[in-house]
Chain A
Amino acid sequence: MFYREAGDFKTTYADDSQTFPIKFDRYRYWAVLAFAFLVVPFIINDYWLNAVVLPFLIYSVAAIGLNILTGYCGQVSLGSGGFMAVGAYACYKFMTSFPGMDIFSVILLSGFVTAAVGILFGLPSLRIKGFYLAVATLAAQFFLVWLFNKVPWFYNYSASGQINAPERTVFGYAVTGAETHAWAVYLVALIFVVVLAVIARNLTRGSLGRKWMAIRDMDIAAEIIGVNPMTAKLSAFAISSFYVGVSGAMFFVLYLGAVEVGEAFGIGKSFIILFMVIIGGLGSIFGSFAGAAFMVLMPVLLKNVMVGQLGWATDLAAHFEFVIVGGLIIVFLILEPHGLAQLWRLAKEKLRLWPFPH
């Protein structure tokens, strides 16, 4: 009833190519943003921040990153965990080497370092495709984790082999370290997520995004209409790695605070992010958010139901959690291989006609 294109005439091509062509969507978008910036900071507490909101925000950035590479450019990567580790360790080195630098610059610089590493490990993609590329990125995953374990320079020769986030403040409020304010941490993460999501959307709807999608859908035809496969693939690797690196840095400084590389950024992390992208929907920014929300919320929800409602033992619930989440992923892939984003699209198509579908 409210969800209509009718009467909303586009008179310029700029209007026609905007992100939310339907008025209702635009209002909803601004409403969500206003809620996230103006309401949530006042009601958020430590439990919600650490159990739900912060992992969701951080994983969203990682999922957008992998979606750029896998969903938009068609290059499968199993190295996201390793690239997150690069972001985290770069962040740690910047913070300890330049104590005066503010947290935003540090996280951004970590992203750029990861982008450079991503280009390096993206080079095989110029020669190999599909499963073989996935295996090559898997090598990146294991190599990077091994590197951060073996070379003490990366963790400043600390005895435990861990890295710990030093305290940093933004306008006098601590956002990293031991004593943080939930709302301040939340706002820092939110700013990164919103800005990066908007940039990702702009890149993917412009000429760069079309180059990536052309390479994904048919690389030979793409080359013949003038796409340089080398720059297209490497730019996808660079930008994707930038996002994943930023999320790794945030994961370290804002969320965990202390990191042991094998535990925090192991192969499991790569798979979780890949699941997010696949469940959310390949080639969709919204899908990245939906997938991240699914993978973060589902375990929390299941735990609450099994431990809180049914009164099961924690270890039993933890095991069942794996079974159920795993099962759900399989069911999901069979029933809706195009992910949550496709369900959302179908819902919107139905909404357009509702309540008079004929």
Chain B
Amino acid sequence: MTMAETYQTPDGRTIGGQVMEMKNITLRFGGVKAITDISFDIREGEIRAIIGPNGAGKSSMLNVMNGFYHPQEGEVWFHGKKRGPMKPHQIAKQGIARTFQNIALFSGMSTLDNIMTGRLTHMKTGILKQAMWWGPAEKEETENREVVEKVIDFLEIQSIRKTPVGRLPYGLQKRVELGRALAAEPKLLLLDEPMAGMNVEEKEDMSRFILDVNDEFGTTIALIEHDMGVVMDIADRVVVMDYGKKIGDGSPDEVRNNQDVIDAYLGVAHD
């Protein structure tokens, strides 16, 4: 797919150059091919959705993007550089944050501490200074706390700041997890089914947060979602996967009218 360097979305935002490009990714688990020869790119400032039926390989794709899985074939390019074999924590330092399909919060810690863990890649004082809690350590703690408080304000979770996350209802846990990823101030934010298991109201809230994150902070977002209504509303471009292959790529309208996509979701008559 060729595209101009930048383009305008219908609502007037400018989408920039490539942030991440996946080139011919193939991922195998033993004999099972989870992803077969998939290429697509993510551009700066856009909301990029990955959709597909269950078992299509969407989560595997996200795991490849943040370095949790290493594809057997293909290349991942991030900010114009080919990414070598890196550990997930190194990739986190490059500015990729994510949330999980099943909530992966630190259940023994408070909301505040959970979101503070998102700042770990920005905190650098050594053990000795931390042990004394003097000067630089305390200053760094306070500075990062300020960033975290902004995230807390943004997500409207001030009242549960000191509550252990284990006690929170599901919808709020999802929100805290988004907060943890946001606190890292990522260049690329990966969301794995941010609205799974939510009711309509919670979905509306979450959609609003995702749009606001994109709008206010200019964060590039790639998300997996099953709710087609939401995807078609908030995504700028959509990749459709089925059985580990890419069957569609384009704006929501293009994807909606793609025959392969319709077949994958609704089934085809075999005669």
**Chain A residues engaging chain B, CB cutoff 8 angstroms:** 12-14, 17, 199, 202-203, 206-208, 210-211, 213-214, 216-218, 220-229, 235, 239, 283
CB neighbours (8 Å) of A202 from chain B are 130-133, 137
Question: 5 A-B Cβ contacts within 8 A?
Answer: A13-B141, A14-B141, A17-B145, A220-B68, A226-B93
Q: Give the 5 A-B CB pairs with smallest separation, nearest first.
A: A226-B92, A217-B106, A221-B104, A226-B121, A207-B123
Closest to B126 in A: A208
**Chain A contacts of B120 at CB under 8 A?**
207, 210-211, 214, 225-227
User: CB-CB < 8 A to B104: which residues of A?
Assistant: 218, 220-221
Chain B 127-158 near chain A by CB (<8 Å), digits 1 or 0:
10011110001101110011001000000000
Asked if B130 and A206 make an inter-chain contact with CB atoms under 8 angstroms apart, the answer reads yes
In the bound complex, do residue A217 and residue B109 qualify as a contact, i.e. CB atoms below 8 Å apart?
A: yes
B108 contact from A224, A225, A283, Cβ within 8 A:
A283
Taking A214-B106, A226-B89 as contacts, is the C-beta distance between A13 and B132 under 8 angstroms?
A: no
Segment 77-130 of B: residues with Cβ below 8 Å from A: 87-89, 92-93, 97-98, 100, 104-109, 113, 116-121, 123, 125, 127, 130
Is residue B220 contacting chain A, with contact meaning CB distance below 8 A?
A: no
Which residues of chain A are near B109, meaning CB under 8 Å? 210, 213-214, 217
Are B68 and A210 interface neighbours, CB within 8 A? no
Known: A202-B130, A210-B113. 17 other contacts (CB 8 A): A14-B141, A202-B137, A203-B127, A206-B133, A207-B116, A207-B119, A207-B141, A210-B116, A214-B109, A214-B117, A220-B68, A222-B117, A225-B117, A225-B118, A226-B120, A227-B117, A227-B120
A207 interface neighbour in B130, B132, B146, Cβ under 8 Å: B130
A239 CA to B98 CA in the complex, in Å? 31
Inter-subunit contact B116/A235 (CB<8 Å): no
Is B180 an interface position by the 8 A CB rule? yes
B184 at the interface (CB under 8 A from A): yes
- A224-B98, A226-B92, A226-B93 given as contacts; is B127 within 8 A of A235 (CB)? yes
Any chain A CB within 8 A of the CB of B66?
yes
Of the residues B123, B130, B141, contact of A17 by C-beta under 8 Å? B141
* Chain A positions within 8 Å of B68 at CB level: 220, 224
Are A227 and B89 touching (Cβ within 8 A)?
yes
Query: Bound complex: CA of A208 vs CA of B137, how far in Å?
Result: 11
> Chain A's nearest CB lies how many Å from the CB of B152?
12
B-side interface residues, number (CB < 8 Å): 41
A217 to B181, CA, bound (A): 17
Contacts of A225 in B (CB 8 A): 92, 97, 117-118, 120-121, 180-181, 184
Task: State A228–B124 Cα separation when bound (angstroms).
Answer: 13
Structural contact, B92 and A224, CB atoms closer than 8 A: yes
* Known contacts A14-B142, A206-B137, A224-B88; A213 and B108 CB within 8 A of each other: yes
CA distance A202 to B127 in the complex (A): 10
In-complex Cβ contact of A13 among B89, B106, B133, B146 (8 A) = B146
Q: Say whether B141 contacts A206, CB under 8 Å.
A: yes
With A and B bound together, what is the CA distance between A226 and B127 in angstroms?
17
Determine how close the nearest CB of chain B comes to the CB of A278; give it in whole angstroms: 15
**Contact present for A218 and B105 (CB under 8 Å):** yes
Contact A213 B106 (CB under 8 A): yes
Inter-chain CA distance A222–B89, complex, in Å, is 8
CA A229 – CA B119 in complex, angstroms? 16
- In the bound complex, residues from chain A placing their C-beta under 8 Å from that of B132 are 199, 202
Bound together, the chains give a CA A213 to CA B68 distance in angstroms of 21
Instruction: Please report the C-alpha to C-alpha distance between residue A218 and residue B93 in the assembled complex, in whole angstroms.
Output: 19
- Compute how far the CA of A12 lies from the CA of B142 in the bound complex, rounded to whole angstroms: 9
B24 vs chain A, min Cβ distance (A): 25
Give the docked Cα–Cα distance between A226 and B117 (Å). 9
Is there contact, CB below 8 Å, between B66 and A224?
yes
B-chain residues with CB within 8 Å of residue A239 when the two chains form the complex = 127
Q: How far is the CB of B120 from chain A (nearest CB, A)?
A: 5
Listed residue (A206, A221, A224) with the most chain B CB atoms within 10 angstroms of its CB:
A224
Task: Give B134 Cβ to nearest chain A Cβ, in Å.
Answer: 9
Known contacts being A210-B120, A227-B89, is A216 close to B130, with CB within 8 Å?
Answer: no
Question: Is B106 a contact partner of A208 (Cβ separation < 8 A)?
Answer: no
Contacts of A216 in B (CB 8 A): 106, 108
Residues of A within 8 A of B131 (CB): 199, 202-203
**How far apart are the CA atoms of A283 and B110 in the complex, in Å?**
13
Closest residue of B by beta carbon distance from A71: B108
State the Cβ distance, A76 to closest chain B Cβ, in Å.
Answer: 15
Chain A residues positioned under 8 Å from B116 (CB to CB): 207, 210
